[in-house]
Structure 1
Amino acid sequence: MVRFPLCLSLLLSATLVLAQSAPKAKSAPQKLATSRSVKTQNKSPDLSSLIPLDPDVKVGKLPNGLTYYIRKNAEPKNRAELRLVIRAGSVLETDNQQGLAHFMEHMEFNGTKNFPKNELVNFLQSAGVRFGADLNAYTGFDETVYQLPVPTDSANVFTQAFQILEDWAHNATIDPTEVDKERGVILEERRLGRGAGQRMRDKYFPALLNDSQYAKRLPIGTEQVLTTFKPETLRQFYKDWYRPDLMAVIAVGDFDMKQVEGIIREKFGRIPAVKSEKPRTEYDIPAHKDTKVVIVTDPEQPNTVVQVIYKRPEIKEKTLNDLRESIKRGLFNTMIGNRIQELTQRADPPFLGGYSNYSDFLGNLDAFTSIAVAKEGNVEKAIRAVLDENARVKQFGFTATELARAKQEFMTSVEQAYSERDKTRSVNFVNEYVQNFTDKAPYTSIDFYYNFLKKEQDGIKLGEVNALVDQFIHNDNRAVIVMAPEKDKAKLPTVAQILNYVDDAGKGLTAYEDKTLNSPLLAKQPTGSPVVNEKQIKDIDVTEWTLKNGVHVVLKPTNFKNDQILFSASSLGGTSLYDLKDFQSARFSSTLTAMGGTGEYNQIQLGKFLSGKQVSVFPFVGELSEGINGSAAPKDLETALQLLYSYFTQPRKDADVVKGFLSNQRSSLQNQINTPTPAKVFQDTVTVTLGNNSPRRQPLRPDDLDKIDLDRALKIYQERFANAGDFTFYFVGNFKEDKLKPLVEKYLGGLPSTDKAEKFNDLGIRAPKGQISKTVYKGVDSKASVQLVYSGDLTWSPENATQLDALAEVLEIKLIEKLREEESGVYGVGANAAYAKYPVPRYTFRINFGCAPENVEKLIAKTQELINDLKAKGALPTDIAKFKAETQRETEVQLKDNQFWLGYLQNQYYNGDAPDEVLHEKEQLSKVTVESTKSAANQYFGPNLIRLVLMPEKKQ
């Protein structure tokens, strides 16, 4: 696949409407790994010394120049993350190789010396490694990275995994027949990327990247090259750049380090060093004194987005002073992010969404980027609002209280990483070593970094952080990109006007006022009630409590994470209990109520109060149920339970914030109506069709928001959370039951309750029966999307759920083989089974893919052939074995994951199913056979088929 750096991905995705405020910028450094060693001394460090590398990582270099990184890490158990990194990407392509770095990545899966054709994928699938989800690769401008997560409890599979890496390194066969077949797959991947974003990007990239090599070498390449290049040209790229001095092998996992080092030395040491190698040019993006302004429009662009990018030379972190400087940048990002987020919480927000953030950019550059999504196309108001916040910092600086909170947030995030240092997953390490190899980014240990932060952060003064704004914001090497709907072209400001907005930002500003509230969350402490009944489910280490007020609690203490407790609560009812006239008020009830904050705290004050605490609590009201989702560190659990209690008993109305939110939503929805994107029109059609045109399955429109009554929404919210007696609460994570019990009895036992147990209303919304075909004609690009949806009633049982999962997996395997590998007609194809017990047991089976419009009928016919084959013969034993291996491997990891257990327990109790069902998975898998898949195919691929196709608009 093609990958852009994070900064460019954000720029490209900025065309999406931010319905709520942009997420806060991450304050923790991006380039730091975690580990368990390194003892630090108490004396202040010499800031001129180099950042110490993590000694738990074994780094070596073979005589042929190949670098390797090895680290033992037992999370998850019996697993390893392997990477082959090539420090070569699309930027190194010649004119007649455009797209071949990415093409070469694809070819590595289509045949190597020891794994001809598709044997590599087959072998790994048989070992439980999923193609795409696990086994994958990506190509960027400067690197190509192959990802291979594998089990380590099979010596054969583990050793063969390194053979696969070696084959990728120098044993690709590049068979001409396979090359020609893969052209179609690559062209389909390229087709998927086409649209308004791509068309506008092609116009502004040359200016943004100053006509550098990066502007001319997008990894996906050109259609001309991809359709006409000779295999010899691809082989030349492979020969030039896949060489040991540009390669790194990374292995992190639950294994013996000496054994792995021996395997690497044996297998990769036999790759011959390249004599007279081609120089690896390091391309720069040249600086420019002027401001590049590009205004681009497109008929499928739904909103107006303004981006101001201040580019500057990349900061290379080498010394401890560099590390200290990175902390300052993190604090700056946190504080500016918080301020801009507050702007969306006004009665009349100046934009739909926005942010300012300093980060790495591309090539030799970093950038400070400000982005605003304009409301009602008002470019001036949007960009001035964001830039005024930058200017406010420049004129008045941040406040001491803001810095104190940012430091607290920063320290809390690092403390969490430190506390989880023995539970860090291997995948979290490998990317650090990739960056070290490709960009010389240092990797230090969390022990060192945590102690360094404790010593240095308090000494960072407000003036130091405030001074960064002068480094970030400057008039040279600056670019302004405006993306807007084609229909608004005449209304857009000129280049001169845009420059004026940018240069004149900050007129008439006043200093930021940091308004906080110093009150307890709960003005009055709850009167609790005790646990009156207890039940043990020992085989899964679960305990059930019933409190005197009727509240049910399900607990599973774990040691999977040191600093994590997850919790949730649910009760039947939801919006289904309300008439259509109240539907919109009910639908938005939890969102609008949470926007008010809780108790005495408004939303902004609550965020500041919780700063530095690991607490997250969110109420929800769904169609069939309502409840709470949350998490907390053990030390913050009481605060989380206070907040939960407050959301139940002290909902707060903030009419101004709600007014601003609804105003933004109206603007966003109107943009979608004025310039409907093909994907949105198609998805709306899918939703309405599968919902049988129910009024509760219609696309949300601006006039629907007019039906919302805030007082009614608050009343509905209060009704849904008035009776805790029919709620079940779930706790999973690092807690002791005896210590949790008094907190549960106080806060959950203190919730109001009655003996009434509510149910949901069955609204009768079902996918329509029979054969239905709908084609949507929308979009100018030559691309189509297909969804085939089977549905029907279901007999609810674990066995049937497993058979549906098996059917989806074996069909997807066959669809990939047929539609992608044989027909070269798709890039990706999915087959997914969904099933639910409520409101009545039903299943939905979806098959989806994108393709060329001219191939729609052929590929649908091929899909039907595969389905008919499953009906006639059942699945192949080899494909069934792959499904079982993948499922068992996935479950092994899930059983050590708090998030899995929280969702699993909630589903089991919600459905009234056995809590220990997961322990009987092997028994259910044993029932998946050739005959069972045949029977399942005949049962679930029945007469109810909805065919939905998106095609480009017909030319007049």
Structure 2
Amino acid sequence: MVRFPLCLSLLLSATLVLAQSTPKAKSTSTKPVPKSAASQTGSPNLNSPIPLDPDVKVGKLANGLTYYIRKNAEPKNRAELRLVIRAGSVLENDNQQGLAHFMEHMEFNGTKNFPKNELVNFLQSAGVRFGADLNAYTGFDETVYQLPVPTDSVNVFTNAFQILEDWAHNATIDPTEVDKERGVILEERRLGRGAGQRMRDQYFPILLNNSQYAKRLPIGTEQVLTTFKPEVLRQFYKDWYRPDLMAVIAVGDFDMKQVEGIIREKFGRIPAVKSPKPRTEYDIPAHKDTKVVIVTDPEQPNTVVQVIYKRPEIKEKTLGDLRESIKRGLFNTMLGNRIQELTQQANPPFLGGYSNYSDFLGNLDAFTSIAVAKEGNVERAIRAVLDENARVKQFGFTPTELARAKQEFMTNVEQAYSERDKTRSVNYVNEYVQNFTDKEPYTSIEFYYNFLKKEQDGIKLAEVNALVDQFIHNDNRAVIVMAPEKDKAKLPTVEQIIGYVDNAGKGLTAYEDKTLDSPLLATQPTASPVVNEKQIKDIGVTEWTLKNGVRVVLKPTNFKNDQILFSASSQGGTSLYDLKDFQSARFSSTLAAMGGTGAYNQIQLGKFLSGKQVSVFPYVGELNEGVNGSAAPKDLETALQLLYSYFTQPRKDPDVVKGFLSNQRSALQNRINTPTPQGVFQDTVTVTLGNNNPRRQPLKPEDLDNIDLDRALKIYQERFANAGDFTFYFVGNFKEDQLKPLVEKYLGGLPSTGKSEKFNDLGIRAPKGQISKTVYRGLDPKAAVQLVYTGDINWSPETSTQLDALAEVLEIKLIEKLREEESGVYGVSASAAYAKYPVPRYTFRINFGCAPENVEKLIAKTQELINNLKEKGALATDIAKFKAETRRETEVQLKDNQFWLGYLQNQYYNGDAPDEVLHEDEQLAKVTVESTKAAANQYLSSNLIRLVLMPEKKQ
């Protein structure tokens, strides 16, 4: 897998992510830090180095290999292992372009102790999924192998380290396997082709100032990938896979001394390299001028403007550096909130935008401002974002903004601190990867929490305001404009763009921080008591029925210290409304939430909730309506007040809704003007599977004209007017006796009519028979295939288990045949989905991308595998893999709040037994060679929809 830093991923995909950055995550620890590092008295010496987490055992072998070991019991009987190579694509020679990534692939195609595909087979048999669990990635500067394994099997656990050792120096690099893998990697490269890749090829050399990074994208060149000799790959492996550039990381539920012994034994026998090739640290040269790149493409759907202020990377080494990182996090949070507020206007200046300081690439950090232009108006979009930067420069942030940002920051760290004994192993490993590859320090959450408590209050507004002068400067600056080809003539010139950037901030006034100081609920609800209680002891669930008819399902857990998840659902949804009201009903919950609630508009509500761990979102779906939410135990009452408010006092905000619909209309028009191949294909899939029903048509700009705000709010009120037919679910760290009065007050106080509603069956079914549709879109020589089987089912636990088993055993065979044998795909999936409502139905999908000339051949190979399943059933070994993976997955899920919330909601919604999950082994026992044969004949037969995306036909 190819991986880019987050900042470059955004640039490569031209995707907008509206996020508020905080300082880099800190590792957590269960032991107190020694007082010398975390003194409880007085201010720390800011020149002192950041203390490393003492719970991490770090060592170095004689051959130069580094190891990190940490005991962590979440999840139980599991470990996260990593092999990190501090070498990536930037180190390739001209004749090796793409071979760092190629080498990553070859590690799964044969090693000394695991020939050919035995490594994947062994791990699948232990319940480790290929791709989902077992994986790897290659970046510019590093290659990382990811291996999550069970620790309750000595054989599996010790063999996992043998796999890591084999990756380190025992890859076989068989020429036959190399030639087979060429096709797989060329298919991965093919998947990355499109507008983003074509534009990237134009602007990358300029953005990265013709540095080595601009010339060494990890995917490589087609010329090298198709022609290199195996000895060239072996040379890369020999040069860079060496112990002084390696780290082994082990975090999990194990004995640390035992693991250290295994590491020393296995990795200590790797010979040190006597005259190692120098590991060059490449820089991206600075430049005094402003680089401007304007690129267009026929398949680019919108206009994106990015202003990137590059600056030397900040290395966090001392406590002073740590304090500076907190300031940067506060700055990003406040500026992000301001820019987000711009979308709340009646006529927003852009479809989306943000400004953010973060790490970049190589030796650089960057302050980046991005705006997605509305109707192609580059000037208005980028000026709006840059004006917010300039407003900070001219007037600074306000004291109230800083106070909220500090509160929010502290709340996030407090949550990590409170969860320090429940933190999952996977959350630690990346910290140690970054420490090895980029010398990023890792400290304990105890130290960081105490440091933040001491230092944050002393961070003055003037200090944070001063950061803007560090971030924004005229040198080492780049501006990238990506736009649809059809708009090329309308785009501003390079000189105009520089003018927009240089002249931002004219005629600004200071930001006004408008807040509201009122209770969420002006009138307190009238409580109603619990009138019935039922225990389901084998899964630790309690059911309450309140006097107003509300049903509450409770599962107290200790999986997280600071987490309570909740949801609610009721049948009905948009299915109850005629087609003329469909769009108003479809957007009803979105428009209601945009108005805020009660006396609070959306912006004021966000400020009111700042620093609280509260999330509440109402929704109206096709067959039901409900609420999803979460809260820390201390904020649960606020969350329930907000939930009550969303039920009883939705707020109308015509200006915000007008702005939202205006942006939606503009975005939809962009899709029509410059349709992407994948977008057109996905629309075709949806329309076809929906049998061309009007409610399955792609959303069009004119559909938004059918939305009536008053009607939408009326529909929303109707859907939430009767809480008596809702079931609420609570999972997490609460005590029933403490939750009860809150439930009786806020849920018991909800309105109820005493009636029970059902959804309407709209009759939307996938068409029967054999259907084939081919979409011809796209300039690149790439195709996408979906084979979809549908039909009715007998709703039962056995049916769902047999469908899941069928999907897994078929996917195993598809990977073996289409990827490993035919080298025709990078990835292929088989998946089963099933639902009881509106009627019990299943959808079974097979997906893959490939070369257009291989479509028919690979579909034929797929059908051969399906026919073989129908004739003979699955191999017993593949069935065993499915069972092992399912059991391993369930072991972890049973200790996860999110799993239980979704599971309980599904069981109650479908009227199924709440304790069904405890009987999984009984269902797995029914999966046999014969049952998979029967399932293949039942579910992969009559109703097949074949959907193919092909490139445009050349005239």
Shorter-chain TM-score: what band?
Answer: over 0.9
> Aligned-pair distance for 1:13?
2.8
1:86/1:145 contact within 8 Å kept? yes
Per-residue CA deviation, residues 660-707 of structure 1 (Å, 9 max, x unaligned), is 000000000000000000000000000000000000000000000000
Any idea what SS the aligned residue of 2:661 has?
Answer: helix
Paired residues of 1:17 and 1:352 also in contact (CA < 8 A) = no
Contact 2:351 2:371 in 1 (8 A): yes
User: Residue deviations 1:578-634, cap 9 Å, x none?
Assistant: 000000000000000000000000000000000000000000000000000000000
Compared with structure 1, are the counterparts of its residues 25 and 151 closer, same or farther at alpha carbon in structure 2 (3 Å cutoff)?
closer
Q: 1:474 to 1:348 in 2, by over 3 A?
A: same
Looking at structure 1, the residues matched to 315 and 576 of structure 2 have their Cα atoms a distance apart, in angstroms, of: 58
User: Shift in Å at residue 21 of structure 1?
Assistant: 15
How far residue 19 of structure 1 moved from its aligned partner, in angstroms, is: 14
Residue-by-residue CA offset, 1:751-803 (whole Å, 9 max, x unaligned)? 00011000000000000000000000000000000000000000000001000
Alignment partner of 2:259: what SS? helix
Q: Is the 8 A contact 1:76 1:254 kept in 2?
A: yes
Q: How far apart are the structure 2 equivalents of 1:898 and 1:777?
A: 44
With over 3 angstroms needed to count, the CA separation of the structure-2 counterparts of 1:591 and 1:29, relative to structure 1, is farther
Cα separation, 2, equivalents of 1:20 and 1:667: 25
Q: What corresponds to 2:169 in structure 1?
A: 170
The answer to whether the 8 Å contact 1:867/1:937 transfers is yes
Q: d(CA) in 2 for partners of 1:697 and 1:17? A: 27
CA contact (8 A) 1:571 1:726 kept: yes
Which secondary structure does the structure 2 equivalent of 1:859 belong to? helix
TM-score (norm 2): 0.98
1:23–1:424 Cα change, 3 Å: closer
Instruction: Give yes or no for contact 1:358–1:472 (8 Å, CA) kept in 2.
Output: yes
Q: Is the 8 A contact 1:26 1:330 kept in 2?
A: no
Residues 651-690 of structure 1 mapped to structure 2, 5 A cutoff: 651-690=650-689
Q: Is the 8 A contact 1:17 1:303 kept in 2?
A: no
Q: CA deviation at 1:395?
A: 0.1
- Contact kept in structure 1, 2:545 and 2:551, CA below 8 Å: yes
Task: Tell me which residue corresponds to 1:754.
Answer: 753
Are the equivalent residues in 2 in contact too, given 1:785–1:851 (CA < 8 A)? yes
Q: Deviations over 1:623-661 (max 9, x none)?
A: 000000000000000000000000000000000000000
User: Aligned pair in 2 of structure 1 residues 666, 24: CA closer, same or farther (>3 Å)?
Assistant: farther
Shift of residue 38 of structure 1?
Answer: 7.6
Aligned Cα RMSD in Å?
Answer: 2.0
Report the CA distance shift for 1:360/1:147 in structure 2 as closer, same or farther (over 3 A): same
Matches of 1:74 and 1:560, distance apart in 2: 12
- Deviation at 1:12? 2.1
Q: Deviations over 1:12-34 (max 9, x none)?
A: 23346989999999999999xxx
Contact 1:420/1:562 (8 A) holds in 2: yes
Offset of residue 11 of structure 1: 1.8
Deviations 1:701-740 (A, max 9, x none): 0000000000000000000000000000000000000000
C-alpha distance 539-835 of structure 1, shift in aligned 2 (>3 A): same
**How many Å separate the matches in 2 of 1:202 and 1:190?**
14
Are 1:90 and 2:85 counterparts? no
* CA distance in structure 1 between the aligned counterparts of 2:815 and 2:229, rounded to whole angstroms: 26
Report if the CA contact (8 A) 1:690-1:766 is conserved: yes
2:155 match: 156
- C-alpha distance 22-671 of structure 1, shift in aligned 2 (>3 A): farther
* Residues 82, 148 of structure 1: 8 Å contact kept: yes
Asked if 2 retains the 8 angstrom alpha-carbon contact of 1:20 and 1:344, the reply is no
Cα distance in 1 between the residues matched to 2:107 and 2:454: 48
Question: Does structure 1 conserve the Cα–Cα contact (< 8 Å) formed by 2:343 and 2:659?
Answer: yes
Q: Hey, what's the Cα distance between the residues in 1 that align with 2:407 and 2:837? A: 44
Say if 1:37 and 1:56, in contact at 8 Å, map to a contact too: no
How has the CA–CA distance of structure 1 residues 18 and 616 changed in structure 2, closer, same or farther, with 3 Å as cutoff? closer
Give the secondary structure class of the aligned counterpart of 1:483: strand
Instruction: Report deviation, 1:538.
Output: 0.1
- Conserved 8 A contact 1:826-1:849: yes
Q: Distance in 2 between matches of 1:25 and 1:846?
A: 38
Write the distance in 1 (CA, Å) between the matches of 2:4 and 2:752. Answer: 52
Contact 2:18 2:354 in 1 (8 A): no
Task: String of CA shifts for 1:429-481, please: whole Å, max 9, x gaps.
Answer: 00000000000000000000000000000000000000000000000000000
8 Å CA contact 1:311–1:477 kept in 2: the answer is yes
Question: Contact 2:26 / 2:445 at 8 angstroms: preserved in 1?
Answer: no
Contact 2:305/2:372, CA 8 A, preserved across alignment: yes
Cα distance between partner residues in 2 of 1:52 and 1:693: 62
- Quick check: 1:27–1:330 contact (8 Å CA) kept in 2? no
User: Could you report, residue by residue, the CA deviation over 1:80-112 in whole angstroms, capped at 9, with x for unpaired residues?
Assistant: 000000000000000000000000000000000
Change (3 A) 1:721 1:26: farther
State the distance in 1 between where 2:786 and 2:837 align.
Answer: 24
Aligned-pair distance for 1:942?
1.7
Q: Distance in 2 between matches of 1:528 and 1:58?
A: 54
Aligned CA distance change for structure 1 residues 540 and 632 (closer, same or farther; 3 Å): same
Relative to structure 1, is the Cα distance of residues 118 and 808 closer, same or farther in structure 2, using a 3 angstrom cutoff? same
- Alpha carbons of 1:173 and 1:905: their partners in 2 closer, same or farther (altered >3 Å)? same
CA distance, structure 1, for counterparts of residue 36 and residue 747 of structure 2: 41
Counterpart residue number, 1:600:
599
Which residue of the partner structure matches residue 385 of structure 1? 384
8 Å CA contact 2:28–2:420 kept in 1: the answer is no
CA 1:738/1:18 → structure 2, altered by over 3 Å: closer, same or farther? closer
| Residues 819 and 862 in structure 1, CA contact (< 8 A), matched pair in contact too | yes
Alpha-carbon shift at residue 169 of structure 1 (Å):
0.1
Distance between the aligned counterparts of 2:17 and 2:310, measured in 1?
A: 25
Where 1:147 maps in the other structure, the secondary structure is: strand
Q: Matches of 1:156 and 1:24 in 2, distance apart?
A: 37
Q: What is the aligned length? A: 952
Is the Cα contact below 8 Å between 1:528 and 1:747 reproduced in 2? Answer: yes
Would you say the 8 A contact 1:28–1:330 is kept in 2?
Answer: no
- Partner deviation per Cα, 1:902-927 (whole Å, 9 max, x = no partner): 00000000000000000000000000
Structure 2 residues without counterparts, runs of 5 or longer? none
Counterpart-to-counterpart distance in 1, 2:690 and 2:16: 26
After TM superposition, give the deviation of residue 552 of structure 1 in Å: 0.2
Q: Offset at 1:6?
A: 1.0
Q: How does 1:842-861 map to 2 (within 5 A)?
A: 842-861=841-860
Q: What SS does the aligned partner of 1:955 have?
A: coil
Unmatched 5+ stretches in structure 1: none
Aligned partners of 1:919, 1:630: CA distance in 2, in Å?
A: 26
Cα deviation digits, residues 367-419 of structure 1 (max 9, x gap): 00000000000000000000000000000000000000000000000000000
- Shift of residue 864 of structure 1? 0.1
Counterpart secondary structure, 1:178: helix
Change (3 A) 1:25 1:64: closer
**What is the rounded CA distance, in whole Å, between the counterparts of 1:653 and 1:876 in structure 2?**
59
1:43 CA drift (Å): 2.2
Residue in structure 2 matched with residue 274 of structure 1 by the alignment: 273
Aligned counterpart, 2:497: 498
- Cα distance in 2, alignment partners of residues 168 and 365 from structure 1: 31
The match for 2:26 is 26
Measure, in 1, the Cα distance between the counterparts of 2:675 and 2:457.
51
What are the Cα deviations for residues 502-523 of structure 1, in whole angstroms up to 9, with x where unaligned? 0000000000000000000000
CA distance in 2, matches of 1:858, 1:325: 58
CA distance in 1, matches of 2:148, 2:275: 35
Task: State the distance in 2 between where 1:343 and 1:742 align.
Answer: 40
Q: 1:28 to 1:596 in 2, by over 3 A?
A: farther
- Is the 2:29–2:446 contact (alpha carbons within 8 Å) kept by the matching residues of 1? no
How far apart in 2 are the matches of 1:346 and 1:23?
Answer: 30
The 2-side partners of 1:391 and 1:28 are apart by: 37
Shift of 1:546: 0.1
In the TM superposition, 1:138-157 aligns within 5 A as 138-157=137-156
CA distance in 1, matches of 2:28, 2:951: 44
Counterpart contact for 2:22–2:330, Cα < 8 Å: no
Q: What SS class does the counterpart of residue 355 from structure 1 fall into?
A: strand
Contact 1:394 1:469 in 2 (8 A): yes
Residues 359 and 366, structure 2, Cα contact 8 Å, conserved in 1 = yes
- The answer as to whether partners of 2:71 and 2:254 remain within 8 angstroms in 1 is yes
